[in-house]
Chains A and B, each alone.
Chain A
């Protein structure tokens, strides 16, 4: 019974939503069903916050490995929560806006959260460089094709690439580096992406059917087909 009820709900709701795609009067159901998810998501804050406090408090209390990091996490979480929820450090009263200029919440957000986020994002540039170095080493035929394609595309984006082949006569314009870069992006690259997207589309339908029909139940914690 514990398994049958969720499976029946999945079958009913899934079938209804598939039908609603083709029946205009039922179209609103798709939006309405997401409202249920939004309502649950509101309570997720308590779920997530509660779990975070419990896990890290336990770690600190038992002095488990790297418990100092947990202490920092708890401190940051409680500081942000109290300055936002109880308006601690807010020049206005409890009814003031959470982002009142000069408030702790705003100061922490702009001068700690944002720079930290930007720092992490900026690391991407270095990781792209190191990943490119690994990917573009011409170890085999495929890697060599990748290297040549990347070289053409990178060069095609620069004025130097344009300058290199601008002397070519018009009838050979297809061999100009910027044109070759456009061709690589719009033909083989796009074809590959579309093939992947078609596969994803079929995969989504297949997965949905397996879930709706109750064949795939692992997400319910049942390892049986």
Chain B
């Protein structure tokens, strides 16, 4: 009987042990994100953020609230270092609060917008009362201290972007200046515009090509048809193609972008028609090469070295290929005229080409080539606008220095007037 009792007792113990193993561990009740607060007694919770403010984001189309705060005193320092801030949002001051994003330590602003968190409507609805709270969180994510709740705040759209007033003033000033000079040009006023070496060389270069019986290579760059520098290049191509048609020289326009190719074909065709030589236009003058940057360079360099054009014209948007093209052209002995608005590429063109249109001269080139009064009028406006910019820059530097020397604040007011905030 005794062995049986021992066996039963052992079996009971084993069964009890197995039940004990299969039982899930007893979990501490997990606080939800919106209610979690510092609870570990051994670690001091971090200080909360202070001066929390929630405002409708200014100068936008609505659907956005901007929060700003002073960082926690334990941000990057203290017993419990704050590593991030978690932003909570609710439409009621009592909650429940949902996390709508986070910000790294040191951050003092956060924008709650439709792009980050959507309401049921699919975007952050305007004119709804909203409440916010920010938790200062430590590295292990369990120790966090909530701020006080701020609100209500509503988002709403504005009809005018106040932060861009300086831009609006500048555009209006430039527009009026342009209209004034256009009117003067229409009235027949003699408008002097400073000559540009690069532009004056175009005729000479076309003449040289004609005398040598060699083609002219026109490269539109790597820009797309929507780039303003490519559009400027089209206008120059039109002028160049017309002269080429008049001189009966051959023109080669290899293209990087198919849409650019289509526009260039039309531009050249129309130029030949304007010159009265539509029969001289050939379909293979303007053609597509490749969409690969260095593949394009290889192909154009091949054209330069095989066909030895008398003149190479590079106008438009260029990147790393600028020097590869211009140096090959220089080695081939061609006259080279270039123009780009890519500041980083201008030095390469200056070094390797005979003439370079720097920045804005690219946009002015078409007007110079055309010499039409209306176009020259807009160039004159550009020159006056530049003078205005120089005067403003000098006045600004003077004002800030005088104000700093005399501890006055009006210098900053002057600076703020020109500041574009959004």
Contacts and interface: CB of A to CB of B under 8 A. Distances in A.
Interface string A185-209: 0000000010011111011111111
Interface string A205-225: 111111100011011111111
A63 interface: no
Contacts of B258: 44-45, 47-49, 51
A169 interface: no
A40 interface: yes
B174 interface: yes
A160 B238 CA distance: 52
Given A116-B295, A215-B375, A221-B266, A58 B234 contact: no
Interface residues of B, number: 90
B288 A51 contact: yes
Contact of B389 (A45, A117, A198, A210): A198
Contact of B370 (A27, A193, A197, A225): A225
Interface string B348-373: 10111000001111111011001011
Contacts of A205: 171, 174
A200 B341 contact: yes
Interface residues of A, number: 64
A225 B178 contact: no
B228 A223 contact: no
Given A24-B59, A211-B231, A130 B161 contact: no
Contact of A121 (B224, B320, B361): B320
B242 interface: yes
Contacts of B320: 121, 124
Contacts of A120: 294-295, 297-298, 324
Interface in B157-183: 157-161, 164, 167-168, 171, 174-175, 178, 182
B385 A219 contact: no
B259 A44 contact: yes
B317 to A, nearest CB: 12
Contacts of A121: 294, 320
A25 interface: yes
Nearest to A64: B284
A172 interface: no
A206 B378 contact: yes
A24 B60 contact: yes
B298 A21 contact: no
A75 interface: no
Interface string B263-275: 1001101110110
Interface in B309-325: 320, 323-324
A51 B270 CA distance: 19
Nearest to B382: A206
B360 A21 contact: no
B364 A21 contact: no
A85 B327 CA distance: 37
B224 to A, nearest CB: 8
A131 B302 contact: no
Interface string B281-293: 0011001110111
A193 B178 contact: no
Given A45-B258, A199-B386, A203-B382, 4 more contacts: A24-B160, A134-B351, A203-B364, A221-B271
18 contacts: A21-B161, A22-B167, A25-B159, A37-B225, A37-B226, A51-B258, A51-B261, A51-B287, A52-B288, A52-B289, A55-B288, A121-B320, A127-B328, A203-B360, A206-B178, A218-B267, A219-B267, A223-B274
In the A-B complex, the 6 residue pairs with the closest CB atoms: A221-B270, A203-B360, A48-B258, A225-B372, A120-B294, A203-B363
